[in-house]
Amino acid sequence: MAFADNLPISESLGVFVGVTGFDWLTEGQAEPLKAVIAAIAAGAIIAVSRQILKRRSKR
């Protein structure tokens, strides 16, 4: 299986939309840079955790 199959695209997009929407509702304006940073961080954490769990299940 290719590495691209394990990328958390939908989860990262969900984090981006959630952070942007929350900023927009609470502050009246969205900060897309903050949302992108949060989405990339969440996607990286999810990708790393999937790799770790995949290695554990093979043992």
Token pair 């929407």 is at which residue? 21
Structure tokens at 1: 């299986």
**H helix or E strand, kind and range, residue 8:** none
E strand residue ranges, 1-59 = none
The Cα–Cα gap between 58 and 17 comes to: 34
pLDDT at position 7 is 80
Environment class of 39 (CB within 10 Å of its CB; exposed 0-12, middle 13-18, buried 19+): buried
| Sequential pLDDT tens for the chain (59 residues) | 566 667 889 999 999 999 999 999 999 998 999 999 999 999 999 999 988 988 887 76
Q: Are 6 and 47 in contact (CB under 8 A)?
A: yes
